Every structure is written in C-alpha cells, then in structure tokens.
Structure 1
Amino acid sequence: MLELRAENSVLVVLPEVGGAIGSWERAGHAILHPVSDPNLVAQKLRAVAAYPLIPFSNRVGYARFEFGGETFELARNFAGEPHAIHGNAWERSWTVAHREPARAVLSLDHAPPEDPAEQWPFRYRATIDYRLRDDGLSVILRVENTDRRPQPVGLGFHPFYPRTTEVELGFAADSVLIAGPDSLPAEQVAVEGEWRFSPMRPLDGPPLDNCFRGWDGSAFMRWPDRGYALTLTASEPLRHLVVFSPPGKDYFAVEPASNMTDAIHHPDDPNRGLVLLKPGEAVEATVEFALARL
C-alpha cells in the first residue's frame, strides 16, 4: 500500500491489487467510493475505488476472438458471465517504478508464456502515473506492444463514486449502446430522453450499465448535499463513456474508455476504439479529476 499526500488530499494506491486506487479522500470527504466486488475474483474481496482497464475495456464476447488469422480463447474472469471483462491488468500485481510524496508510477509487464496467455495472448508493458494535487488527480495510462506481432489494444479507467440522494451527473454524447440479454451490444440509439445527461440532471432514473459513444471527453458530477463537485476530463483516444449505476447500491461508476463494448467483434465499425499497435508502438491517455466547492 502506498499513501500519497497533497495538502488536504490523501490517495491510497494498491500496487499488488491491479495497480488500483484504494481510496481518495480530501478533508474527510470520500471523493471516490471503495467497492468490493465478489465477481472480480482476482481482487480477493479487497475494496478498490478505481482501477485500470488494460488492454481493453468492458467485455470480449464469450471470451473468444479472432485476430491476424488466429483464434484466441480468454479466461472468463468475471463470475457468472461467459465473457472476459476489463482486460487483465486489474488481475495482476504491479511494480512501483517511481515514488514521490504526491506521485507514484507503477509498471506491469505481461509476457506470455511466462504469464498466463489465457489472460491476454500478447506481450505488453503498461504504466500508470498517479499525480495527486490538493484539488485534483491526474492519471496517465500507457500501453506499449512488446510482442513481435501487432495486437489490438483498448484502455480506460474505472472509478467508483459515492451515490447520494442528491448526486447529479452531466455529459454530452451522440449515441448509446443498448445491451441484449447476454450483456453485449444489441442496438445503438441516439442520446435522447432518459439517455440524455446534457444539461446535468439527478442520477435518479432506471439502472444503467451502458456505453455512450461520441463522448466529448468531459463529465461533471455534483453532490449538493456534500457541497462539492468533480469534473472529469479525458484525452484522446478515450471517447467512449461507460455509466454504471446498479440498483440499490451506494455507488456508481463513470468510466472513460477508448473502445466500445465488445469492440473486437465489430471490425466494420470505424469508431470502435481499438488501437492496432505494431511491435514497439504505444498508446497513452490521461484522465484528469478536478474538485471544486459549491
């Protein structure tokens, strides 16, 4: 466990639990909400407040895909689902590559066959750079292809936030994917009516577990009952936004991601968000969180 401090902000980082954030608090307020999910078996019931999505976000349908003339089978790493979910970086122990009072850089080398190929069949090197400020946090994600062949890569970040009776959410997007019974995209519809979060509105509608597309890279959350707001901004190529608000829970998630759900099975979609990395190439993205008082 690493503890980063910047004036009134304290960030706990868990290198051995997928490089995750354990908690982020400022002046006694929980900015992120630690969640223990028994379906994510590799987290071993450890509560985490945010974790990286590498080398893909969301699901690979039925944990199987074809690429470069080969067929690959992945481990089903989410209890109760037939799919592979959120890549494998969250399942691994990361190394602390650099440490300062308010900064930590973590690294991970995934190298089959020494490492489990059923988690991901290609070699890659990932880094996370956490930079804490009193009024915010920067998260810089980087994935490099260290294999001898090209590979498809997506990336994202999965933060949880406290869900109170007054919390509000706002963002702009073009369309949203509607999932079928198998939790994979079945339909794409325009962002209208109950799907619309521009202007900002209370997060009080039906449960959501949806990927929004054509996101402009900014999202806004406000807690009037707690007196603060949080702005999330994400760089290219993070132009998908997953909103997860499960019923009856005291948290929700707003997750910037590069790729759509099950992107590997949508090769004809020019905006699916996967990046084809040749050997030695890398992709990088930054997620910024900025706090403000109301």
Structure 2
Amino acid sequence: MISRFGGLPDRERHEGKGEQVGEVFELRAGEYGARVDRVGAGLQALTWRERDLVWPYTRPEGPLAGQGQVLAPWPNRVASGRYAFQGTEYRLNVNDPATGSAIHGLVDGVEWSPVEESEEAVTLRLDFPGTPGYPFPLELTITYRLGDAGLTVTASARNTGTSHAPFGLGFHPYLTLGTPLRDLAERGEAHVEAGIGSYQPTDSRMIPQGDPVPVAGGVFDLRAPGRALGTTVLDTAFTDLDRDGEERAWVRLSGPEHRVALWSGPGFSWLQLFSSDTLGGELHRANLAVEPMTCPPDALNSGRDLIVLAPRECVERTFGILAEQLT
C-alpha cells in the first residue's frame, strides 16, 4: 500500500509524569513491552523477549508508510478525495498523489490527551472537531494494554455532533520477524496464515471494482497452515473472515524461530495485507502490514460496511497482537 511518508516536524520534548517520556508512553507487562505515541496515538513499538513484533518507529524519523497509525475517520482510500453523504458532497485533501486519493483518515498528526496511565496500559482521547471535508465532530478514545496474552487495543468513537456521521476505523501495524521478509521468503522460511474467505478486486488506483471474490484455490488463498509467502505480492483487502470461539479473526506470520499473530474482534470485518513491495531501499518487502478495518477502501462512497453514527451514539472495536513460540 502506498501511504504517506515522513513524520511531523520534531516537537518540543518535556518530561511528563508516570510512564510518559516526552511524547511517548512506555508500557511493560511480563515479557512484553510497548511504546505508544501521543501524536496520532500510534503504536511506536511492541516487543516480546526484547524482539520486535512490529516494525518500530521514532520521531522525527517516522512514522513511514503509515507505521503503527490509527486510521480514522476512515481507513484506506477515498477515491479522488470526494464523497457524498445524505445528499451533500464533500471534498478531502488528496494526500496520495500516486492514486489520486485521500488516504488513512485525519488523526495521525494530531496530539491526543492521556486519560489514564499505568505500567501496563495507557488510554488516550481526541476531541476531533471535524474539518471542512469531514464536518462531523467525534470523541475518539484508544486504550493500549499489555498482559500475558500480548497487546490488546480497544478503540471507541462517539458522535458528539448534532447530525449523523459516516465513520470507519482501522489500524496500520507492520508485523515483523526481525529479519526482512524478502530474505526469509527466498529461503522458504516466511509463512502467512489467514482465515480469509474473499478478496476485493481493485482498479489501478486501488479503488474497489465489483464484489469481493472467493480466494479458494487462488494466489490469495492463505487459509492453509504453513502457507509459504514465496513471491506472493499483497496489497489487498480481504473479507469473509473465519473466526474462533471468541469471535476473533487471525493472521499469523511465522519464521524459523517464532510467530507473530494479530487478531481482530467483531466489527473488524476487513483486513488489508500489504507485503511492502512498493516501498524502496531496505524497506522493500521487509515487513507485512496487517490492517484491521471496519470497512473496505472507498467505503465513504460505496457505503459497504460503513458505520453511520447517530448523535451521541458510540461504537467500540478491539484487536490484539501477540507472539507465539514455535514448537
């Protein structure tokens, strides 16, 4: 996925109370550690036994290519930065020139306010006032919590306006095995398993065309355990997700020593998988973005799985990331 590159200008650093150091919240529980960015409420880092589970970033160097970012009030793309809602047309800034679209929402460069902090968790809130292209005020809250089962992320959105609001939510972590995927894949040591039933065809601008197509028997069929990544190129939205007894949908990235798993709870009906092939230099095919999304690309236009919040209505979604030891 071609995402916005580069971070915000470096901000004035200051010592905060508790676990806050400058703009970053440091979390720890058992074998897990994490860093959470106050700017954008992004996941800067997640470690297990001191190994990176996600591609980490620091400021001002990052985030790059959407690293760890919160995607709201829409995930993925809006075609030409234009959409209509309840009879009114709106225009967003086009910030992905390669596809001529508005990408990944409006909250990645904004400072969030800490609501609650502990050694294992932090809750951040953003009172989003709306913009000319999205004039729908929202209260957004995100909690990052570490435990024996890894990281759990709980996000909520409440419509604080007086009219209905179109809404979508996503997250943009890149799973990593510590060694570039391209190297592991060449040796047959990178495997991806995902309980995904259908993929969304797109045009050259990465905008959906037609209905989702079953993955069975095709290049995007990642359902079999131990499926080698090989030369498969992924920049694809998937849906019809298989779920376990707790209604969680799973993606697992395995290497020779351990496995990184991401689960998404009910309401995250879509996953975007991106194998980083369009990134350059050392970033090319180095990590796998696994993006839980409530809706597909261009949902502000198609309406597919788009959430419409009534005034004062709230919606909540949860996902998590953990490490699994290979036996």
TM-score, normalisation: structure 2: 0.80
Q: 2:229 aligns with which of 203, 220, 229?
A: 203
- AA aligned to 1:84 is A
Quote how far apart the aligned CAs of 1:60 are: 1.0
Q: Which residue of 2 aligns with 1:236?
A: 266
Aligned residues between the structures: 278
Separation (CA, whole Å) in 2 of partners of 1:173 and 1:8? 30
- AA aligned to 1:224 is G
> Any idea what SS the aligned residue of 2:231 has?
coil
Of Structure 1 and Structure 2, the greater strand share is in 1
Separation (CA, whole Å) in 2 of partners of 1:236 and 1:218? 8
- AA aligned to 2:37 is L
Deviations 1:269-291 (A, max 9, x none): xxx21111100001110102232
Quote how far apart the aligned CAs of 1:35 are: 5.8
Quote how far apart the aligned CAs of 1:73 are: 0.7
Quote how far apart the aligned CAs of 1:174 are: 2.4
Separation (CA, whole Å) in 2 of partners of 1:282 and 1:44? 33
% same residue = 27
Separation (CA, whole Å) in 2 of partners of 1:144 and 1:76? 26
Q: Which residue of 2 aligns with 1:40?
A: none
Q: Which residue of 1 aligns with 2:46?
A: 24
> Which 4+ residue blocks in structure 1 deviate beyond 6 angstroms?
none
Quote how far apart the aligned CAs of 1:86 are: 1.2
Inter-CA distance 220–66: structure 2 relative to 1 (3 Å threshold): closer
Checking the alignment, whether the CA contact within 8 Å between 2:194 and 2:252 is kept in structure 1 is no
Checking the alignment, whether the CA contact within 8 Å between 1:229 and 1:293 is kept in structure 2 is yes
Checking the alignment, whether the CA contact within 8 Å between 1:55 and 1:143 is kept in structure 2 is no
Deviations 1:108-131 (A, max 9, x none): 11114xxx433x321011011000
Structure 1 position 146 matched with structure 2 position 160: yes
Inter-CA distance 44–62: structure 2 relative to 1 (3 Å threshold): farther
Checking the alignment, whether the CA contact within 8 Å between 1:109 and 1:125 is kept in structure 2 is yes
Inter-CA distance 177–222: structure 2 relative to 1 (3 Å threshold): closer
Q: 2:138 aligns with which of 124, 138, 161?
A: 124
Map residues 270-289 of structure 1 onto 2, 5 A cutoff: 272-289=304-321
Larger CA deviation: 25-34 vs 213-222: 213-222
Unaligned runs of 5+ in 2: 1-23, 243-247, 278-283
Deviations 1:74-109 (A, max 9, x none): 112335442111111213211111100010001111
Q: Which residue of 1 aligns with 2:123?
A: 105
Checking the alignment, whether the CA contact within 8 Å between 1:135 and 1:292 is kept in structure 2 is no
Checking the alignment, whether the CA contact within 8 Å between 2:171 and 2:291 is kept in structure 1 is yes
Q: Which residue of 2 aligns with 1:14?
A: 37
Q: Which residue of 2 aligns with 1:63?
A: 81
Separation (CA, whole Å) in 1 of partners of 2:270 and 2:69? 17
> Any idea what SS the aligned residue of 2:173 has?
strand
Map residues 31-70 of structure 1 onto 2, 5 A cutoff: 31-34=53-56, 45-47=61-63, 49-70=67-88
CA RMSD of aligned residues (A): 1.9
Checking the alignment, whether the CA contact within 8 Å between 1:137 and 1:288 is kept in structure 2 is yes
Unaligned runs of 5+ in 1: 37-42
Quote how far apart the aligned CAs of 1:232 are: 2.1
Map residues 112-191 of structure 1 onto 2, 5 A cutoff: 112=130, 116-118=131-133, 120-162=134-176, 163-164=180-181, 165=184, 166-187=189-210, 188-191=212-215
Inter-CA distance 199–121: structure 2 relative to 1 (3 Å threshold): same
Separation (CA, whole Å) in 2 of partners of 1:147 and 1:44? 34
Deviations 1:47-94 (A, max 9, x none): 374221111111111111111111111112335442111111213211
Separation (CA, whole Å) in 2 of partners of 1:235 and 1:129? 15
Structure 1 position 93 matched with structure 2 position 125: no
Quote how far apart the aligned CAs of 1:45 are: 4.2
Separation (CA, whole Å) in 2 of partners of 1:246 and 1:229? 19
